[in-house]
Amino acid sequence: MTLPGQQPVIWTGTYTPDGGGRADGIGALAAKPDGSVERLGTAAKTDSPSFVAVHATLPVVYAVAEQRKMVRAFRRSGDYGLEPLGDPQPAGEATCHVAVDRQGRFVTVTCWGDGQVLLFELDADGGMTGRLPAAPSVDPHAGLATGEPRQSRAHASLMLADGRIMTTDLGHDTLRVWNYVPGTGLVADHEVVLSFGSGPRHLVQHQNGNVFVVSEYSVEVFVVRPEAGVFELVFRGPATSGRSLPDDSGAEICLGFQGSYAYVGVRGSNIISVLKVGAGGTELIPVKDSPSGGNWPRHHLVRENWLHVAHERSDNVATFALDSLSGCPGDIVHNLQTPSPTALVPSS
């Protein structure tokens, strides 16, 4: 959160040399009224903070240390600096995502390497106090897999509007829904099984309560709808208007224009796909694929009528103006060089 008197910033997750990147920690960007972004500098020197999250009511930022198998909290200091808040907390192999409860009670952490889903309760200052592991995933497609059992690969968490939590598992092709119980952590509610080999990666909740999911392996989008508290699959379709290539992988999905459009990043082809939200929020219809403006679009952010795309391998954030009628990006209006960006997260 940004407190009065503090400059709003966009925090950048990054890869540092231990993760094959060129950054030295969490970056800070200033968003300008003309849609451009300016690099302020490094907010905190820390190892491979590939994803960050912001507390809803406190000036506290949480970041994974992907290669170090840790997560840690930072308190905002000065114009854009971050200083450590407490000690780093142990997580799991390839700790890749962190998300904060809307009420500031806990953070959830997901680990791609070993499939762990972890919850850390928070104190009144936003510090992490207790590490509570959730039950491991069981592969619902075990009968279809050949050879060695498939590794669970938890990837992202989403705080749902009703207070529950949904996590993706790339390795087991599932969406897992949890309830938070203080002192216990995440208690399983139910799960939604997606198609074998799809690899659900990131997700976002529409204002109507439906959740949109992008898959990394099959480069598809899915819509799950809550019915009497249980999510069910209501739509599956391509994430792009053209055919994805064999080496493509879906990355991020976000919403724009009051939920009228969804935006999907695809690495490999290096495109941003615009999808129209139709049928009352139960369909995602591809409209147009556009060049993302760099190499390996890892994450992107829609801010008003602007689209910012972080490119991990070409060290840049490309900014596009979005057409208010079609939802589509035009030409690049600004291109910022910044090392190994992997996430773009506004401070408020």
How far is the C-alpha of 40 from the C-alpha of 308, rounded, in Å?
Answer: 16
Quickly count: other Cβ atoms within 10 Å of residue 45's Cβ. Answer: 12
DSSP letter at 136? P
Our separate counts of H helices and E strands in the chain read: 0, 28
How far is the C-alpha of 21 from the C-alpha of 183, rounded, in Å?
Answer: 37
Per DSSP, the three-state class of 316 is strand
User: Does 6 have pLDDT greater than 90?
Assistant: no
48 band by pLDDT with thresholds 50, 70 and 90: very high
**Would you state the pLDDT for residue 144?**
86
**Would you state the pLDDT for residue 193?**
98
**Would you state the pLDDT for residue 5?**
72
Are 15 and 48 within 8 A, CB to CB? yes
Backbone angles phi, psi at 281, to 5 degrees: 85, 20
Q: DSSP letters of 66-126?
A: GGGTEEEEEEEETTTEEEEEEEEEE--TTEEEEEE-TTSSEEEEEETTT--EEEEEE-TTS
Backbone angles phi, psi at 304, to 5 degrees: 55, -120
**Would you state the pLDDT for residue 1?**
76
pLDDT in tens, 240-249: 999 889 999 9
> pTM of the predicted model, to two decimals?
0.97
**Would you state the pLDDT for residue 259?**
97
Q: Average pLDDT of 227-237?
A: 97
Rounded percentage of the chain residues whose pLDDT exceeds 70: 100
User: Does 2 have pLDDT greater than 80?
Assistant: no
Residue that is written with structure tokens 């308190």 in the block: 75
pLDDT in tens, 304-346: 999 999 999 999 999 999 999 999 999 999 999 999 999 999 9
Least-confidence region, from 1-10, 24-33, 185-194: 1-10
User: Does 3 have pLDDT greater than 90?
Assistant: no
How far is the C-alpha of 147 from the C-alpha of 11, rounded, in Å?
Answer: 42
**Would you state the pLDDT for residue 244?**
86
pLDDT in tens, 52-69: 999 999 999 999 999 999
Rounded percentage of the chain residues whose pLDDT exceeds 90: 93
How far is the C-alpha of 85 from the C-alpha of 318, rounded, in Å?
Answer: 32
C-alpha distance across the termini of the chain, in Å: 5
User: Does 208 have pLDDT greater than 80?
Assistant: yes
Q: Average pLDDT of 280-288?
A: 97
For residue 203, what are the contacts with CB-CB under 8 A and spacing of at least 6? 156, 158, 166, 168, 175, 211, 212, 213, 214, 253
pLDDT in tens, 129-147: 999 999 999 999 998 877 8
User: Does 287 have pLDDT greater than 90?
Assistant: yes
92 band by pLDDT with thresholds 50, 70 and 90: very high
Question: Residue-wise over 191-215: b if at least 16 C-beta within 10 A, else e?
Answer: bbebbbebbbbbbbbbeeebbbbbb
**Would you state the pLDDT for residue 145?**
72
